[in-house]
Every structure is written in structure tokens, then in C-alpha cells.
A and B are shown apart, each in its own frame.
Chain A
Amino acid sequence: MMNTVVLRSYTASELFCTKRFISTSSILLGPKSNDAKVARDKSKKKELRKLAMNKNIAKDPAYNQPLYMPLDMALRYLRAAEVGYPTSQQTISITTKIVRDKGTPNLRGKVFFPHSIESENSKSKIMVFTNNDQSQIDYYKNELGCDYVGGQDLVDAIQNDKINLDEIKLSFATPDIASSLNKLGKKLGPKGLLPSTKRGTVAENLTNIIKENSASYPFTQKRADAISFPVGRLTFSDLKLAQNINAVRDGLYKSLSEQQSRKPSIVGHTYITSTNSPAITIDFK
């Protein structure tokens, strides 16, 4: 088979060298083409144009969007679309678009819902291990809404299977009893209920920790540049859903203010949807 040589940008000595004519590496040794660089620049420009367009759309008010509706009307449509489906399936969620520059870190934070989004059947009880006096135990039970509070008696009750651990959502402990909980490791460990200093569930003053963990919903921005939050069920009133949506907005803007970047992300448009309904744009900013 004959070798082919590209005759462009070669010096005279290169052209008249017989070795060069029979060499298959002559193309590789030749000057580099500009095509790759041009393509790279083109894609970079395209990316920048897309980002600028997304930023423009994000800054536009929600009422300019094609599927914009006031919240009460949107909820009326969602309630109509969900008619007849089991209440356990009727979860309402909102999705917010986040526009960010390249290299800006992901958003993460916590939302404190005023109305719990968990269904009545799901586990929701809180357990606290402490050797404190009766007044402190009453405080945990009445003020913080903990269901099981106790010391050695509570440890014995768990060992004798007198407490249904499937109903318990969170457990905490004070340092005075934490070391004696190791024997419960086999029962509490697999369910993620064993208090430990590493996880931040062992402390002298548990008030703030319990408040933060029991009512919070942690969120992180995924690759798709959008964040979804469940905000309630269709059995909630419009007012309760609006309050939960407000809580999401507070949590999101708080995490935006804490974002360590020269170019902070921009909150785009927000859609409200339920399991079987179309997504509708609402005013969120």
C-alpha cells in the first residue's frame, strides 16, 4: 500500500528528503492544526451564551413565565388533579432552579418547617437518655415533645423489647449515660439510633440539638442545578402550605447568603407540583 503525505506547510528540505516521503509519521511531525482550538473556543462561547440566557430568565419575574399562576389557583388545580388518589401519594413538592457559575460550590442547608411534612403513619417519636433529675425529664417531655425520656430504666426497657424501635425517629443522650449505651449497640446501631459524640447527638445541653434535628429538613443541590423540597400533603390547608413554602424560601436564601463564592448563585423560577399533576410556576422570590 502506498503512503500518502499531506503537502502543506513543509519546508523545501523536508519536501525533497526521500526519507520524509516514505515515512508514515510525516503527518504527525507536521505543524499542528488550529481546528481543535477553534472548536474548544466555540463550545466555551456557547456555554457562556447559555449561562447568560439562563441568568436573564432567572432574573425575569415569575408572572412573565408561560405557566405562571397565583398560589391559591395552582393549589386548586393540584387538588383537582389528585382527586381519588390515596392520601399517602398526594405529596406536594416545589422545585427551584439555581443558576450558578462554573466552580461555584453546591448549595446546602436546612429548612425548618412550621408544619411537619411527615405522614401520621411514619415514625416520629424522639428518645432521650439522661440521668438528670425529674424536673429535667419533665422539661424534655413537655417542652421539647420527647416521647421516651429516662436513664437506666429506659435502657432496660429497650433490652427487654418493651419499646417499639420502629416508631422512633431520633435519639439523644447526655454524656453521663452515653458510655453505658454501648450494650444497646446491636439493637440501636442498625437503625441509626445509637447516640454518639461523633454524630453530634451527645451533649450536656440537648435543647438546641433536639430543636434543630427534629423539625429540620436538610437539602443539597444536585448536579441538575435544581433543588426539590416536599412542602406538604394535599390534606393541608392553603395557609399551612404557604407557610411551609415561606420556610423553604427562608432556608434557601440563608444558605445563599452563606455561600462562599465571589459570584453567588441566582435563584431561578419555582414550580409547584404533586404526584399526578402538571408543574405550575409560582411566585417564590
Chain B
Amino acid sequence: MSILQRAQKINKISFTTKLTQVKIDHEKVGKIKLVFQRDNMNGHMGARKFWKNYLPTLKFYNIDLPMEVVRIENKDKNKEIPCILEIQDKSLNKEIAKLDMRNLRDTEIAEKLLELLPHVPVPQNEIIEFVPKIMKH
């Protein structure tokens, strides 16, 4: 992978994904858990894309908050597999909110999650943009 590609990947985590640049209230939220199947069928693609595109940014600005992803192996189209996002409280026993991610796009999931999560946007001076240095050689 070239230097520019690597810099792009780094910036995707911390800078270019604007929607999930938020700080979650750690007093109220203890864990975020996603459950979906490995294959895209039956409306699970949005959940997988949300995990790939938006969850790393959420983790970067909330590094101490546990986030779990459970991917279920299933090849049977007629079998119902849950496609849910759970927000658990500090004690990890109580469920604060639940979101059904089936047939939703990744952006829609991120917007709906922010409605459920107690959060504040990351201050502009704390958002990290990575600029690769130019080599002299």
C-alpha cells in the first residue's frame, strides 16, 4: 500500500468520516453491541457497512468504550438472523436502547444511532487530521 493510500486510510478513521465524530457520555453508556450475519442477504448489508465505515471513527473518539461485533455465519436465505444494535448501560445488565438495522443503509443507521446515544460533538480543535510529511530524499 502506498504512502498516500495509508494516509487516506488513517484520515478515514479520524478526519473524513464526519457523522460519527462524537463523544459518547461514558456515565450513561457502558457498551455498544452489534449483531448481524456475515452475508449481505436479507437486509444485513447496511449493518456490515456501518461497522466498516462509521464504527472505527466512533471507537477512535471513544477509545475506552467497549464495542462488540457479533457476526453470525448463515447461508440459508429462509432463516431469520437478528440484525440489531444494542446500547447497554454502565453495569452491562440493562439495555438502554435497541435499533433494528435490517434494510437500512449505513448512513441511516449512523443517524438513528446518534438519536439514541447521549453524546456531544467532538470540539473542532480536537479533531485530528493526519498530514503526511514530504520526504527530503
B9 in the interface, Cβ–Cβ < 8 Å?
Answer: yes
Give the distance in Å from the alpha carbon of A85 to the alpha carbon of B51 in the complex.
Answer: 10
Determine which of B34, B63, B69 lies in contact with A79 in the assembled complex, contact meaning CB atoms within 8 Å: B63
Q: Which residues does chain A contribute within 8 Å of B10, judged by CB atoms?
A: 67, 77, 278, 280
Can you list, as one digit per residue, whether each of A56-92 has a CB less than 8 Å from chain B (1) or not (0)?
Answer: 1100100011111100000011011101110000000
B interface bracket (residues with beta carbon within 8 Å of A): 20 to 34
Q: Which residues does chain A contribute within 8 Å of B58, judged by CB atoms?
A: 83
Give the distance in Å from the alpha carbon of A83 to the alpha carbon of B13 in the complex.
Answer: 11
Q: Which residues does chain B contribute within 8 Å of A79, judged by CB atoms?
A: 59, 63
Q: Does A83 lie within 8 Å of B6, measured CB to CB? A: no
Q: Which residues does chain B contribute within 8 Å of A247, judged by CB atoms?
A: none
Q: Which residues does chain B contribute within 8 Å of A64, judged by CB atoms?
A: 133, 135-136
Q: Which residues does chain A contribute within 8 Å of B14, judged by CB atoms?
A: 77, 80
Q: A79-B63, A84-B69 are in contact. Are A57 and B7 (CB under 8 A)?
A: no
Q: Which residues does chain A contribute within 8 Å of B5, judged by CB atoms?
A: 278
Q: Does A81 lie within 8 Å of B132, measured CB to CB? A: no
Closest chain A residue to B51 by CB distance?
A84
Closest chain B residue to A63 by CB distance?
B133
Q: Does A66 lie within 8 Å of B69, measured CB to CB? A: no
Give the distance in Å from the alpha carbon of A56 to the alpha carbon of B136 in the complex.
Answer: 10
A256 in the interface, Cβ–Cβ < 8 Å?
Answer: no
Give the distance in Å from the alpha carbon of A53 to the alpha carbon of B136 in the complex.
Answer: 11
Q: Which residues does chain A contribute within 8 Å of B132, judged by CB atoms?
A: 66-67
A interface bracket (residues with beta carbon within 8 Å of B): 20 to 34
Can you list, as one digit per residue, whether each of B15-36 has a CB less than 8 Å from chain A (1) or not (0)?
Answer: 0000000000000000000100
Q: Does B135 lie within 8 Å of A76, measured CB to CB? A: no
Least Cβ distance of B15 to chain A in Å?
Answer: 11
Q: Does A57 lie within 8 Å of B69, measured CB to CB? A: no
Can you list, as one digit per residue, whether each of A39-62 has a CB less than 8 Å from chain B (1) or not (0)?
Answer: 000000000000001001100100
Q: Does A53 lie within 8 Å of B60, measured CB to CB? A: no
Q: A64-B133, A67-B132, A278-B1 are in contact. Are A80 and B63 (CB under 8 A)?
A: yes
Q: Does A66 lie within 8 Å of B67, measured CB to CB? A: no
Least Cβ distance of A102 to chain B in Å?
Answer: 21
Q: Which residues does chain A contribute within 8 Å of B134, judged by CB atoms?
A: 66
Q: Which residues does chain A contribute within 8 Å of B57, judged by CB atoms?
A: 80
Determine which of B7, B67, B136 lies in contact with A83 in the assembled complex, contact meaning CB atoms within 8 Å: B67
Q: Which residues does chain B contribute within 8 Å of A83, judged by CB atoms?
A: 51, 55-56, 58-59, 67, 69
Give the distance in Å from the alpha carbon of A68 to the alpha carbon of B136 in the complex.
Answer: 14
B94 in the interface, Cβ–Cβ < 8 Å?
Answer: no
Q: List 13 additional A-B contacts (Cβ < 8 Å) besides A80-B60, A84-B51.
A: A57-B135, A57-B137, A60-B137, A66-B133, A67-B10, A77-B60, A79-B63, A80-B57, A83-B56, A84-B55, A84-B68, A278-B6, A278-B10
Instruction: Please give me the 6 A-B residue pairs with the lowest Cβ-Cβ distance, nearest first.
Output: A84-B69, A80-B60, A66-B132, A278-B6, A83-B59, A278-B9
